[in-house]
Amino acid sequence: MDAKKFDYDRVEGLIAGLLEALGEDPSREGLLETPRRIANFWQEFIEYDPGKIDTTFSAIKHHQMVCVTGMKVWSMCEHHMLPFWCDIAIAYIADDKVLGLSKFARIAHKHACKLTLQEQLVADISAELKEILNTEDVAVMAKGEHLCMSMRGIRTPHRMISSALDGKFHHTEQRLEFLRLVDFSEFK
């Protein structure tokens, strides 16, 4: 959804209508502010501003792997509009330039702030990093839990792992190094 198309008043009205359709009274004390709160949430979520994300620095050509782990993002499943969280790990082979450290989390959060799938989230993060760094040598892994499976349907806890491994990460040596650097114990 484009931020310019977010219709706050309509979202607030739809939530009040949803509460009525669920047999609730949106004018009762406990629900009086709920439509506003939910409209605020959706506006914050959809209009998330990651700030400047393309700050790079020149690097000595050393072909070093850079790996950032432990980033947690929340998103919304596009199939059920229920939340899911992911722990994200990102790596790339530094060549001509390196990316500012905070930019990894900003990029991950930017792509999480929309209705999406975990597989798409990983692909979107990877695509943006490849563009900014001007390299195909990017790896992104996500491990998450989706409330659409945990609280409805089969109702079971789980962890879903998805990855996008491109460029040199197709080679066994770089792939294994990345997997060793990603400490799965932090992916609880």
Residue 70 maps to a domain: yes
Residue 37 forms part of a structural domain: yes
Res 109 pLDDT > 50: yes
The reported pLDDT for the residue numbered 183 is 74
Task: Report which residue type is found at 124.
Answer: D
pLDDT at position 36: 98
The answer on pLDDT for 3 being more than 50 is no
> What Rg value do the Cα atoms of the chain yield, rounded?
20
Q: Quick check: is 15 in a domain?
A: yes
Q: Which residues of 147-185 are buried (b: 16+ CB within 10 A; e: fewer)?
A: ebbbeeeeeeeeeeebbbbbebbeeeebbebbbeebeee
If asked whether residues 146 and 90 sit together in one domain, one would say yes
Do 26 and 73 lie in one domain? The reply is no
The reported pLDDT for the residue numbered 184 is 59
CATH number at residue 18: 1.10.286.10
Domain count of the chain? 2
Give the per-residue pLDDT at 46. 95
Residue 129's alpha-carbon distances to 47, 53, 151, 162, 186, in angstroms, are 21, 10, 33, 17, 23
**31 shares its domain with 63:** no
| pLDDT of 2 over the 80 cut | no
Q: How far is it, in rounded angstroms, from Cα 188 to Cα 59?
A: 34
CB atoms within 10 A of CB 125: 27
Provide the domain limits for residue 19: 3-46
Residue 187 pLDDT exceeds 60:
no
Q: Is residue 187 part of a domain?
A: no
Please write the tens of the pLDDT for every residue from 129-186.
999 999 999 999 999 999 999 999 999 999 999 999 999 999 999 999 999 999 755 5
Per-residue pLDDT tens over the stretch 66-86: 999 999 999 999 999 999 999
Same domain, 26 and 78: no
Closest by Cα among 147, 151, 70 to 104:
70
Q: Are residues 20 and 107 both part of a single domain?
A: no
Q: Is the pLDDT of residue 41 over 50?
A: yes
pLDDT reported for residue 1: 47
pLDDT interval class at 61 (50, 70, 90): confident
5-38: pLDDT as tens digits: 899 999 999 999 999 999 999 999 999 999 999 9
Q: In this structure, is residue 27 part of a structural domain?
A: yes
Residue 188 covered by a domain: no
